[in-house]
């Protein structure tokens, strides 16, 4: 059993005490992670076999306690720190709550007996990837194909759930050939299916169904001919923001930046300064990606199971890549490292996991030219300068660029960029003229097909618009005839707005489509001087939702993707749209289940869930590497200020 030297422990605790004075939502630092490991390994759990750490994060504190601490103006007082820890030991999943005060202790130890499993550790993924290479059946399959084992990469994939009564932790292996290229995904080895029991780390099923030509290496390399980073244009705006620990202050914004292994970047306690009222006003308590759902549209044996939930099965934070200065982020960026616990409980660092930078967009924040004043031409214009918080998660073949962009107008733009390399399969065909059946994708080059798929990124948005108790309003635009209101006019029609306040969670479930609609979160307890409820608008992106049938097993697990917008009553334990245990989940936990309780959401603490969706039909321009595809949404003030905050 591992032991931490006394001196090291004392130093760690000193570091923790200093850090604990900062902010209740600060992520766990390395000293705290080591402290948690020490507590667990010196408890009764140390005697259990195969003890591994799968999730270690702060135990979400009570919201009212955090808000009270932040408003007390006594931020030099420590806030109690606890950690939520999920371990696997002896074939069981155990949920722990660890008190970090003083020497620390485990205050709760619960065996989870529901459906689903915690995220895989990197160690498990690596071990599974190496297992196939030692198997004589796999070596024989490669020999029959004339392939060199030393040039083969094995990628572990989660397997989903397809109605099995009894499940176990499992991975399937997809194999690729690197010979002649660094783009391993461009040279898939077709026909081989390998199933691994993760608990025993043994191959329990091996199938070699067919041989198919290996796609050629020529033309598959994605190394750019223009990657001299020193030549990349720098953003020349001055660094107009300050960072104290994880607290960021810029312009009229004040917010907190966190990080964990599952969500990656987390924005918390965002408040905007109101010059009229001369105070900061609350906007967003917590915001982060809650879950992704990436189903591939190929029902064949080697592909049907590829219905990934990247956050719950792997983790966006665990997949965070180190950002490249002057390429991922401009020259005026400030970087933050990210920390998480590894399978052995020790802290792991992601260098430059997050960058924060001020960006001159080249856009106009506001503008007007006036010639109506006699003898004068009045021209007023203000350039737009925003603050960006960025993280990139590389999950297998895809890179997700995640941006939170704060604007001095009071808006928050949330951007998602999809790039990386397509998931491809080998085929005997070299041209579309030869095909006689559905290939479930697009021909990109000789013997290579990129499979159709979806990306759904569901955001958790705990809005606190000028206070905790909020309401959700659907502002519907409809056509009216002028004759209906008794006005004589050459006009025959106009449109008007009918506002409906959602009373229950069923009213807050929305599938966006052809009907014009504006969505608002308002505080009915606060009004502007003219009598409007203060609020924020959710300006949505493309109205994309899942096209899978309701009885399809992947859709049962991700039922929430049938609607782009959900509004639920706040619960600190309900943050992950597919449920906390996403691997092999069955759809009996998560957003759709919580919403079915139909709780009241009128003048309550509510959470908005919005899904950024992409139906991705691949095109040849996406090969060998994909230009970034953009999506996102915006949170924009709606009668929140008395007037344009840019002019205050």
- Active-site residues, by number, are 310, 398
- Contact status, residue 608 vs residue 567, Cβ threshold 8 Å: yes
Q: At what angle do helices 6-20 and 30-41 cross, to 10 degrees?
A: 130
Q: Who contacts 552 (Cβ-Cβ below 8 Å, separation ≥6)?
A: none
Residue of 491, 489, 493, 498 whose CA lies nearest to 516: 498
Helix (H, G, I), strand (E, B) or coil at 139: helix
Helix (H, G, I), strand (E, B) or coil at 134: helix
Alpha helices in 159-261, H assignment, sequence order = none
Provide Rg for the chain, Cα atoms. 27
Alpha helices in 47-135, H assignment, sequence order = 63-71, 122-131
Q: Are strands 202-208 and 241-244 parallel, antiparallel or unpaired?
A: unpaired
Cα separation values, 446 from 314, 577, 624, Å: 32, 40, 13
Q: How many angstroms separate the CA atoms of 164 and 556, rounded? A: 13
DSSP-assigned states of every residue in 514-544? SS-EEEEEEEEEEE-TTSPEEEEEEE-----
357's tokens = 């930078």
Cα separation values, 345 from 15, 57, 93, 226, 560, Å: 18, 12, 15, 41, 33
Exposed, middle or buried: residue 230 (CB in 10 Å: 0-12, 13-18, 19+)? exposed
Residue 53's DSSP bridge partners are 87
Q: How many angstroms separate the CA atoms of 326 and 333, rounded? A: 9
Residue 192 phi, psi (nearest 5): -105, 130
- Contact status, residue 52 vs residue 40, Cβ threshold 8 Å: no
Q: How many angstroms separate the CA atoms of 339 and 32, rounded? A: 10
Residue 386's DSSP bridge partners are 359
**C-alpha triplet 560, 27, 402: angle, nearest 5°:** 50
- Contact status, residue 198 vs residue 204, Cβ threshold 8 Å: no
Helix (H, G, I), strand (E, B) or coil at 333: coil
Q: How many angstroms separate the CA atoms of 385 and 205, rounded? A: 56
Q: How many angstroms separate the CA atoms of 300 and 441, rounded? A: 13
Cα separation values, 349 from 3, 296, 335, 339, 373, Å: 21, 32, 13, 5, 61
The enclosing H or E element of 111 equals strand 105-112
The enclosing H or E element of 141 equals helix 136-144
What are the strands, taking DSSP E only, across 127-278?
152-158, 170-177, 192-197, 202-208, 241-244, 247-250, 253-260, 264-274
Residue 48 phi, psi (nearest 5): -80, 145
Total H helices, total E strands in the chain: 8, 30
């Amino acid at each position: 059993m591992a032991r931490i030297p006394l001196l090291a422990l004392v130093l760690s605790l000193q570091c923790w005490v200093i850090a604990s004075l900062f902010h209740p939502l600060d992520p766990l630092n390395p000293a705290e992670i080591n402290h948690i490991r020490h507590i667990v390994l010196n408890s009764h759990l140390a005697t259990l076999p195969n003890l591994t750490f799968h999730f270690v994060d702060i135990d979400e504190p009570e919201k009212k306690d955090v808000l009270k601490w932040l408003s007390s103006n006594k931020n030099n007082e420590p806030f109690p720190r606890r950690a939520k820890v999920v371990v696997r030991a002896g074939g069981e999943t155990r949920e722990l709550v660890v008190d970090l005060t003083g020497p620390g202790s485990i205050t709760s130890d619960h065996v989870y007996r529901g459906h689903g499993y915690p995220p895989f550790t990197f160690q498990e993924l690596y071990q599974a990837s190496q297992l196939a290479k030692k198997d004589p059946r796999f070596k024989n399959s490669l020999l029959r194909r004339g392939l060199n084992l030393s040039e083969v990469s094995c990628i572990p994939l989660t397997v989903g759930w397809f109605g099995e009564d009894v499940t176990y932790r499992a991975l399937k292996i997809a194999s690729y050939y690197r010979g002649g290229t660094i783009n391993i995904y461009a040279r898939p080895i077709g026909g081989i299916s390998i199933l691994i029991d993760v608990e025993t780390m043994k191959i329990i099923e091996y199938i070699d169904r067919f041989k198919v030509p290996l796609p050629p290496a020529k033309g598959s390399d994605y190394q750019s001919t223009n990657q001299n980073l020193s030549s990349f244009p720098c953003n020349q705006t001055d660094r107009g923001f300050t960072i104290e620990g994880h607290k960021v202050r810029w312009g009229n914004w004040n917010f907190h930046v966190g990080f964990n292994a599952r969500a990656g970047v987390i924005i918390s306690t965002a408040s905007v300064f109101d010059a009229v009222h001369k105070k900061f006003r609350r906007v967003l308590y917590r915001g982060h990606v809650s879950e992704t759902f990436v189903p591939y549209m190929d029902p064949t044996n080697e592909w049907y199971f590829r219905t990934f939930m990247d956050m719950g099965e792997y983790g966006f934070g665990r997949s965070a890549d180190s950002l490249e200065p002057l390429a991922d982020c401009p020259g005026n960026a400030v970087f933050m490292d990210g920390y998480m616990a590894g399978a052995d409980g020790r802290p792991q660092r992601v260098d430059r996991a997050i960058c924060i930078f001020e960006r001159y967009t080249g856009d106009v924040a506001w503008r007007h030219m006036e010639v109506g004043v006699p003898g004068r031409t009045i021209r007023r214009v203000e350039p737009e300068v925003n603050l960006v918080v960025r993280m990139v998660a590389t999950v297998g073949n895809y890179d997700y660029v995640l941006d939170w962009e704060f604007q001095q107008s009071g808006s928050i733009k949330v951007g998602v960029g999809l790039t990386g390399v397509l998931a491809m399969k080998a085929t005997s065909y070299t041209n579309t003229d030869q095909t006689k059946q559905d290939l479930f994708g697009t021909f990109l080059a000789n013997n290579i097909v990129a499979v159709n798929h979806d990306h759904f990124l569901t955001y958790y948005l705990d809005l606190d618009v000028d206070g905790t108790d909020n309401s959700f309003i659907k502002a519907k635009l409809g056509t009216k005839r002028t004759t209906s209101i008794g006005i004589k006019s050459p006009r025959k029609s106009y449109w008007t707005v009918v506002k409906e306040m959602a009373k229950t969670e069923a009213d807050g479930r929305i599938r966006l489509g052809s009907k014009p609609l504006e969505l608002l979160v308002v505080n009915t307890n606060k009004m502007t001087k003219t009598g409007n409820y203060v609020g924020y608008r959710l300006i949505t992106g493309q109205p994309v939702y899942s096209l899978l049938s309701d009885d399809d097993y992947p859709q049962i697990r991700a039922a929430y993707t049938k609607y782009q917008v959900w509004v639920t009553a706040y619960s600190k334990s309900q943050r992950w749209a597919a449920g906390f245990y996403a691997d092999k989940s069955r759809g009996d936990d998560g957003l759709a289940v919580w919403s079915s309780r139909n709780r009241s959401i009128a003048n309550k603490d509510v959470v908005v869930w919005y899904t950024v969706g992409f139906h991705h039909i691949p095109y040849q321009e996406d090969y060998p590497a994909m230009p970034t595809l953009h999506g996102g949404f915006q949170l924009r003030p709606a009668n929140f200020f008395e007037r344009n905050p840019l002019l205050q």
